């Protein structure tokens, strides 16, 4: 899709370049005709100063027009170089994509047996993990039950305060 869009843009650019080149060529021909006419007029009326000034200003205008033509040609050259770079980059990308495609297509495809075997192994791993989780839960529940029993037994043990300890000591000493 990007390649098609790029190709359309390059074709549009080429058609614009053709029109621009045609326009520049026509302008160059007109300038050459004016310059030729000015040169002939200058030769025939070399004694007239106002005509010489007019011819000189015409020549200056034509010179600036030639500079514009040169600048346009330079811009066209730069655009052409840009298109060359873009097309070479796209070509490189297409070659790389083709190479990757060939690499992928050359790798062997897994058979259905291998796929089923891999899924079975994965299922067995999950079953082992689930069995381990169940065992850990059973052990945790047993430890929690033992802890709860120990807490109850500890709650049954009576703790003597200082006064009760003195009374107990007196009874034992009698």
Q: Is the pLDDT of residue 47 over 70?
A: no
Mean pLDDT of all residues in 154-174: 78
* Nearest CA among 90, 97, 82, 98 for reference residue 6: 90
Q: Give the pair of three-digit tokens for residue 22.
A: 């045609």
Mean pLDDT check: name the lowest of 23-32, 41-50, 142-151. Answer: 41-50
pLDDT at 78: 77
pLDDT at 49: 56
The Cα 25–Cα 76 span in angstroms is 13
Mean pLDDT check: name the lowest of 9-18, 84-93, 116-125. Answer: 84-93
Q: Which one has a higher pLDDT value, 104 or 99?
A: 99
Confidence of residue 52 (pLDDT cuts 50, 70, 90): low
Q: Is the pLDDT of residue 173 over 80?
A: yes
CB 24 within 8 A of CB 73: yes
């Amino acid at each position: 899709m990007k390649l098609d869009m790029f190709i359309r843009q390059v074709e549009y650019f080429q058609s614009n370049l053709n029109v621009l080149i045609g326009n520049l060529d026509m302008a160059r021909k007109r300038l050459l005709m004016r310059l030729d006419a000015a040169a002939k007029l200058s030769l025939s009326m070399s004694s007239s100063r106002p005509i010489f000034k007019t011819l000189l200003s015409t020549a200056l205008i034509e010179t600036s027009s030639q500079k514009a033509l040169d600048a346009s040609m330079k811009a066209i050259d730069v655009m052409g170089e840009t298109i060359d770079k873009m097309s070479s980059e796209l070509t490189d990308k297409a070659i790389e994509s083709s190479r990757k495609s060939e690499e992928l297509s050359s790798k062997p495809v897994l058979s259905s047996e291998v796929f089923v075997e891999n899924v079975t192994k994965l299922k067995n791993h999950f079953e082992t993990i689930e069995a381990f989780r169940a065992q850990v839960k059973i052990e945790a529940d047993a430890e929690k039950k033992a802890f709860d029993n120990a807490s109850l037994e500890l709650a049954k043990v009576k703790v003597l305060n200082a006064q009760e300890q003195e009374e107990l000591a007196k009874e034992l000493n009698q």
